[in-house]
Amino acid sequence: MNVELPARPKPESTINRPVIADCDIHPCLARPADILPYLPKRWQEHAMTYGMLPRHGYQSGPAYPKGQPDAARLDSWPPDGRPGSDLSFMQAQHLDANRVELGIMTVIAPAAGAAQNLDYSAALARALNEWQVAEWTSKDTRLKASIVVPYEDAAAAAVEIDHWAGHDAFVQVLLLSRTAEPLGQRRYWPIYEAAQRAGLPIGVHAFGYGGYPVTAGGWPSYYIEEMVGHSQCCQALLTSMVIEGVFERFPGTRMVLIEAGLAWLPSLCWRLDKHWSRLRDETPHLRRAPSNYIRDHVWLTTQPMEEPEKRKHFHDIVEWIGIDRLLFATDYPHWDFDDPLWAVPVKLDDGARQALFLDNAKALYGRR
Amino acid sequence: MNAGMAGGIDCDLHPAVPGIASLIPYLEPQWADAVAQRGVHDLEPTSYPLRAPLTSRPDWRVAGAKAGSSREQLCAQALDGFGSRAGILNCLYAITTLFSEDMAAAFARALNDWLAAEWLDKDARLRASIVVPVQSPELAAAEIERRAVDRRFVQVLLPCLADQPLGRRSLWPIYAAAARHGLPVGIHAGSTYRHPVTPVGWPSYFTEDYVNQAQGFQTQLTSLVCEGVFSKFPTLRVVLIESGFTWLPAYLWRLHKYWRGLRMEIPWVDRPPPDIVREQVRFTLQPVDTPVEGDALLRILDQAGSDELLLFSTDYPHWQFDGQYALPPLLPDSLKTKILIDNPLATYPRLKEDFA
């Protein structure tokens, strides 16, 4: 629902805004054809003739119509092109206005890793990575990129990670959450091996389309169900990562769950620990309780931040997860953008604020 | 016995069908013939591998037979053992997984009649849930009509994960029939395996399957709320059984936030989802997914904002706790009484008739 707010007397000053890291910014192609110059001719033709062939029913657009066009803030449309496609507009509206010192870009559309033709998936991932350098990180050093990979073909994904390893522009590997199989399964292990080799965190952003129903009980009817369901989906993929032993096998893995909320994590940890303890003869490859692996290997971005009915309960969540594992994110330019001034429902102490809004991200994404 | 637990109502007990042959006396002739002619096998669900540690506490196993298959043992251990005044039988024999609607309806009739004759007739403390062929909402509603006349059936039982999300309109004849008879709808952990038990595909380990039931319940609650089941049937109570509940506060915060942003999509949801859940949804106690030590459970209950949500259960014979610790010891006594007695009586009108 869009509501016209009365004009504010004057623009909010940026003076009182703290410097932040934003760990989920979505740059976007102004037009789909803008990626063509970055693709080899063979794949340019494929893109124009056959396209993505996503594992859902529409050639373009999402399976569930969004709440508003492009799922974007209505004020985020630049004069020409789509929200998130114009660097100078993004700088003025977001990077400068919100004092973003470090912006982690996550390109989720087109969802290159979800293309059914795996060769096209690899070509499109490479093209998007080159586009990120050419159009974004080389023009604004505050912005850092995530390596888009053809994750359903882990060998090709590892090649893509190796290709960019050590490049200043790239600070993480990016997967989408709804994969063809649970992300802990061994078909994906070459990705974790390559990321570990490159010293890069693995970011897993909500969305994608693996082909299975987006709930374990079948296809729901509504976009709101899809959106709320990203939390359950990420719980499932994290469960797979832990129980399959990914963190045991690749101890250098640092995993960031992006745009799936955070408050669900403590309960999942308790449930995992309890039932792993009862059934542990099934998973002898695990040497520690699931929550221990999660505490050591998993970070979460905050947007969309849960809003407790009683605000004070947010402190419980932060205490249970650990402030050092939370990364502030806005999700610019999307409609459910979290404003850094207003998003956190409680007053955190200065140290916690500094960690959440800046230091955790710099530590995680800084060069090692 | 834990003295503080006397008189409770156990809302999740699992009687086991000893084998498919046990149902033959209760099947109509053509279906009894089919069992022999076609070699219909036992219908134990994949959701509870018979020998898995979760499926039965060591001291609750039955020598040479399935845990939960002995009525005498169940009543002695689950009812006498905890001093419970009554218990609700939720039979998980996987009728709802059959692909033939007719076969499912026939087996559901037989199973419910077996429950009445072999269990309810023989111990006055026992009550049961009506197993229905969810594969066909019309036939499921017919089974509710057939069995609801026996007031010892106090609930309609659905599996957590089936063909389609449980809020979908085509399933509403089931909710209409349940509401008509004042029967809560109980949704129990488990899947009919029509879809992978996760939204991202089939997991490798049973541990994942069971952990993911909680996420399945979350998406089903989203479906029930968003499709408007609670708006359409304002007197309906839904009980999530063996769902875990410590996920509830964080889940509601997220659902509530998106409802505020997207309620134009589902305008029939005319109340905040947390209010709907506190009014119309209940949870059985076990498993309690928090550490035994520490105050996490109390803080979760404070976050949930109601002392009326939980219904006592041992989940017999499933191995969720040891000894007598069905009720977490650190709960305040007033809350224990609500969980043991008051909340079950308020949730199940038919229990109130006989056990108040």
User: CB neighbours of B257 closer than 8 A, spacing ≥ 6?
Assistant: A304, A306, A307
Give Cα A62 to chain centroid, integer Å. Answer: 17
Query: Cβ–Cβ contacts within 10 Å for residue B99, how many?
Result: 10
Q: Output the six-digit token pair for B231.
A: 């708006």
The residue-averaged pLDDT of B202-206 equals: 98
> What pLDDT, on a 0 to 100 scale, did the predictor assign at position B5?
79
Domain range spanning residue B287?
3-355
Residue of chain A nearest B299, judged by CA positions: A316
Q: Is the pLDDT of residue A96 over 60?
A: yes
A1 vs B280: CA distance, rounded Å: 27
> What pLDDT, on a 0 to 100 scale, did the predictor assign at position B47?
96
Q: Which one of A73, A176, A215, A311 would you mutate to disrupt binding with B, by most B Cβ within 10 Å of its Cβ?
A: A215
The residue-averaged pLDDT of B197-207 equals: 97
B4 vs B333: CA distance, rounded Å: 8
> What pLDDT, on a 0 to 100 scale, did the predictor assign at position A368?
52
Backbone angles phi, psi at A144, to 5 degrees: -120, 150
The residue-averaged pLDDT of A89-106 equals: 98
Q: Which one of B168, B208, B227 would you mutate to disrupt binding with A, by most A Cβ within 10 Å of its Cβ?
A: B208
Q: Output the six-digit token pair for A87.
A: 């660097």
A287 vs A172: CA distance, rounded Å: 27
Q: Is the pLDDT of residue A13 over 70?
A: no
Interchain contact, A219 vs B165, CB within 8 Å? yes
Interchain contact, B259 vs A317, CB within 8 Å? no
Whether ipTM > 0.90 holds is yes
Minimum-distance CB partner of B215 among A67, A216, A316: A216
**How confident is residue B218, by pLDDT bands cut at 50, 70 and 90?**
very high
A108 vs A100: CA distance, rounded Å: 20
> What pLDDT, on a 0 to 100 scale, did the predictor assign at position B188?
98
Minimum-distance CB partner of A316 among B197, B214, B299: B299
**Average pLDDT over all residues of chain B:** 97
Is residue B171 within 8 Å of B134, Cβ to Cβ? Answer: yes
Contacts of A244 in chain B (CB under 8 A): 204-205
Contact status of B250 with chain A (Cβ, < 8 Å): yes
> What pLDDT, on a 0 to 100 scale, did the predictor assign at position A367?
63
The residue-averaged pLDDT of A257-284 equals: 98
Contact status of A179 with chain B (Cβ, < 8 Å): yes
Q: Is the pLDDT of residue A157 over 90?
A: yes
A118-129 exposure pattern, b = at least 16 Cβ within 10 A, e = fewer: eebbbbbbbbbb
Summarize pLDDT for B236-278 with one digit per residue, the tens: 999 999 999 999 999 999 999 999 999 999 999 999 999 999 9
Q: Output the six-digit token pair for A39.
A: 């693709």
Percentage of chain A exceeding pLDDT 90: 93
Architecture label for domain A20-365: Alpha-Beta Barrel (3.20)
The residue-averaged pLDDT of A304-317 equals: 97
Contact status of B201 with chain A (Cβ, < 8 Å): yes
Residue of chain B nearest A64, judged by CA positions: B265
Minimum-distance CB partner of A213 among B195, B290, B305: B195
Summarize pLDDT for A109-146 with one digit per residue, the tens: 999 999 999 999 999 999 999 999 999 999 999 999 99
A137 vs A104: CA distance, rounded Å: 10
Q: Is the pLDDT of residue B176 over 70?
A: yes
> What pLDDT, on a 0 to 100 scale, did the predictor assign at position B1?
45
Helix, strand, coil % over all residues of chain B, rounded to 5:
45, 10, 40
Summarize pLDDT for B94-113 with one digit per residue, the tens: 999 999 999 999 999 999 99
Contact status of B342 with chain A (Cβ, < 8 Å): no
Closest C-alpha to A127, from A102, A103, A110: A110
User: CB neighbours of B253 closer than 8 A, spacing ≥ 6?
Assistant: A263, A306, A307, A308, A309
Domain tally, chain B: 1
Q: Output the six-digit token pair for A37.
A: 């110059």
What pTM was estimated for this model as a whole?
0.96
Which range, of A57-61, B21-25, B91-95, B185-189, averages the lowest pLDDT?
A57-61
User: CB neighbours of A359 closer than 8 A, spacing ≥ 6?
Assistant: none
> What pLDDT, on a 0 to 100 scale, did the predictor assign at position A14?
56
Q: Where are the domains of chain A?
A: 20-365
Contacts of A229 in chain B (CB under 8 A): 199, 219, 222
Contact status of B58 with chain A (Cβ, < 8 Å): no
Summarize pLDDT for B70-84 with one digit per residue, the tens: 999 999 999 999 999
Interchain contact, A217 vs B161, CB within 8 Å? yes
Percentage of chain B exceeding pLDDT 90: 97
